[in-house]
């Protein structure tokens, strides 16, 4: 079974696009945890309020 170069190139293009999207989403998720302390200081949030905000963001992220 021989795969033509065009099909092989297309498969690698699709793979590269999906891998890049996965990496971007991973950094987006991680960055939220990194900036949580800064957000709570800037907005004067208590830990309970920050938890509620994080929970809402989690549900919105899960639905999207």
Averaged pLDDT for residues 13-32 = 90
Closest listed residue to residue 50, CA positions, set 64, 60, 40: 40
Q: In total, how many domains does the chain have?
A: 1
Residue 7 lies in a domain: no
CA within 13 Å, CB half, 11? 6
Local confidence band at 12 (pLDDT 50, 70, 90 cut-offs): very high
Averaged pLDDT for residues 2-6 = 78
Residue 6 lies in a domain: no
How confident is the model at residue 1, as a pLDDT? Answer: 58
Q: Is the pTM of this model over 0.75?
A: no
**CA dihedral sign of residues 40, 33, 35, 64:** negative
Residue 53 lies in a domain: yes
Q: What is the mean pLDDT of the chain?
A: 88
Q: Is 27 helix (H, G, I), strand (E, B) or coil?
A: helix
| pLDDT tens digit sequence for 46-63 | 999 999 988 888 888 788
Residue 51 lies in a domain: yes
Q: Domain containing 42: what range?
A: 25-64
């Amino acid at each position: 079974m021989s795969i033509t170069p065009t099909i092989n190139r297309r498969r690698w293009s699709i793979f590269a696009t999906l891998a890049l999207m996965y990496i971007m989403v991973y950094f987006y998720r991680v960055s939220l945890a990194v900036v949580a302390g800064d957000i709570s200081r800037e907005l004067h949030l208590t830990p309970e309020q920050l938890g509620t905000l994080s929970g809402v963001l989690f549900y919105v992220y899960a639905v999207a």
